[in-house]
Structure 1
């Protein structure tokens, strides 16, 4: 069986423009999982498991609303609630795996396609370090080439980043390369630019081990890096805004699920 799931190896980049300049880049890797292949991947790979401990794993409760229903069913429910009909097409989840049982994904992206393979929607699920998560469900207007989307920020991510911002997404869908770029703008202009970019690898035990060695303990490193960069921002005099999250708009889901 030829896998539709794959591995992407690359880096994440953040650049804050105001009120104080700040930037960083870290090497990371991501899995792009066709949600219909989870059980097959569990059987095929030795170092990756579905809903059970391994060197690398994906627990469905780490994503979606944290409930018992499958991630595919949850994604389809979100799409339907937003008036998006994919006709039961494939859904692929881009995320970092658990490493030695530890999980943290600042952002994961569901690529939701129609039966003919054309992208119909993207679901951006954002997690913060307070154990909360929130999904932005955005239709794809033009399935050809790069995808451009925008929405209002309605969920607290960083206590150093205000609400009242607008997100603009620029996504190069999965191929030999993959890019997800985000720009956050406010009344005074662009506040933040962030992007993740990776190159495709076949999803094998050897490739996973090599990626893990290139970015060891990446989920733990990501959590530590978030707190380290927060300390650097505080040292630069950037104001700590606290937890000023806004209401959840209709058609999205927020959940405080187990980590």
Structure 2
């Protein structure tokens, strides 16, 4: 991992893109910003700016852990993984003015010597459900996982993901491709450039993207309506049990 990726909290103004090729071609792009934070050293903002960036355990995993770190470790323990207090970097949307929506949160997990151990991908859908994937990227940052979670109302729960998830550094370059039997792939991308997480940088981004997480959620629904009006059939949503629960 590069020094840039480990130099404290960062802000990534970014463009998120979706390219759908089947059964109709449809492309969407929107701009927002995301945070890269160390789970053990979350940002401490000046009091007036705290409503613009909240990092709460209840917004992730099962929502009942005492901290973000505890929620992650509970999930990893259910999969037989122990980080031994190694560092974890989280890429996420923060809670803004009381609202948060995170289509995808990523956790780059390391051992105590700094060696990468795994990546955890936490997916939220617009129905209030969450699902978490444990990934083991190769040296190129590429990981594979079967799709186990209903996200888009226009795609069934089948197929497999190919995710390219290199640790963010000066640039953020993420790609998630869904391959389905007999269909052309659906691809999502996140592209951005790092900014130091100063109060001034946060304030400028918050003014440029007011209520950013609400805008993300509203944008997904708006594009869903457009696809529905173009005749794309809605797939039934199966009952989902949060995978972070342990037995």
Calculate the TM-score normalised by the size of structure 2: 0.90
- 1:242 Cα deviation from its structure 2 partner: 2.8
Matched, 1:12 2:8: no
Matched, 1:83 2:99: no
For 1:55, the equivalent position in structure 2 comes to 52
For 2:163, the equivalent position in structure 1 comes to 169
5+ unaligned residues in a row in structure 1: which ranges?
none
Aligned pair partner of 2:235 in 224, 241, 249: 241
Change (3 A) 1:19 1:47: farther
Encode CA deviations 1:98-120: one digit per residue, 9 max, x unaligned. 11111111111111112232321
Does the 8 Å CA contact 1:148/1:169 hold for their aligned counterparts?
Answer: yes
5+ unaligned residues in a row in structure 2: which ranges?
1-5
Please state whether the residue corresponding to 1:37 is helix, strand or coil: coil
Range that drifts further, 82-91 or 18-27: 82-91
For 1:210, the equivalent position in structure 2 comes to 204
For 1:123, the equivalent position in structure 2 comes to 120
For 2:71, the equivalent position in structure 1 comes to 74
Range that drifts further, 227-236 or 72-81: 72-81
Measured on the aligned residues, the alpha-carbon RMSD in Å equals 2.1
- Aligned counterparts of 2:245 and 2:16: Cα–Cα separation in 1: 24
- 1:130 Cα deviation from its structure 2 partner: 1.0
Please state whether the residue corresponding to 1:228 is helix, strand or coil: helix
For 1:45, the equivalent position in structure 2 comes to 46
- 1:246 Cα deviation from its structure 2 partner: 6.0
Matched, 1:136 2:133: yes
- 1:82 Cα deviation from its structure 2 partner: 2.1
**How many residues were matched structurally?**
241
- Aligned counterparts of 1:60 and 1:174: Cα–Cα separation in 2: 22
Change (3 A) 1:47 1:200: farther
* Mapping 1:180-199, distance limit 5 Å: 180-199=174-193
- Aligned counterparts of 1:233 and 1:242: Cα–Cα separation in 2: 16
Off by >4 Å, runs of 4+ in structure 1: 245-248
Does the 8 Å CA contact 1:57/1:97 hold for their aligned counterparts?
Answer: yes
